[in-house]
Amino acid sequence: MNREPVPAFVALGANLGDARATVLQAFEDLGQLPLTRLQARSRLYRTAPHEASGPDFINAVACIETGLTAPELLQALQSLENTAGRQRPYPNAPRTLDLDLLLYGEASIDSPRLTVPHPRMRQRAFVLCPLADVAPARVHAAELAALRDQPLEVLNGPV
């Protein structure tokens, strides 16, 4: 069944191993998913763990266009996490790779496995700043201003 491609936004984060290399590889891997094309990459950001422990995180956001359904995309994202060695020993544990589906077109999904838009994305500078890089119309200046006390460091220009 051919579906009309849907724009989707995925948050990327890592704080174990070579986190920067892992996030850059994850951008490439997202573009290799079935029926999916990488449209844009945000800059990379370094942030202290938020409600988590371990080393600093490298964070980013990818804009993709996909023919996968939201549940299929979630499954594919979790498969990429597993391939990168993601383990879940306890909530908010340090991670080799974390991929969160932020937005899936204009869909509103609330199921036991998936909530879209991501329920906490507007509370996190490490998500909104890179989202603003790739989709400025999806982030309001007032939202960014409200998070200015959450420090983050820009590591590079657009990739």
Number of H helices, E strands in the chain: 4, 8
- Which of these is catalytic: 46, 95, 124, 138? 95
100 counts as catalytic? yes
- Which of these is catalytic: 29, 41, 46, 86? 86
- Which of these is catalytic: 100, 124, 133, 138? 100
Alpha carbon 60 to its chain centroid, in Å, reads 6
Which residue stretches of the chain are H helix?
19-31, 70-83, 125-134, 141-146
148 counts as catalytic? no
State how far the Cα of 150 lies from the Cα of 57, in Å rounded to an integer.
13
Joined tokens for residue 146: 């409200």
95 counts as catalytic? yes
State how far the Cα of 65 lies from the Cα of 69, in Å rounded to an integer.
11
3 counts as catalytic? no
Q: Which of 157, 124, 128 is nearest to 141 (CA)?
A: 128
- Which of these is catalytic: 98, 124, 133, 138? 98
Catalytic residues: 86, 95, 98, 100
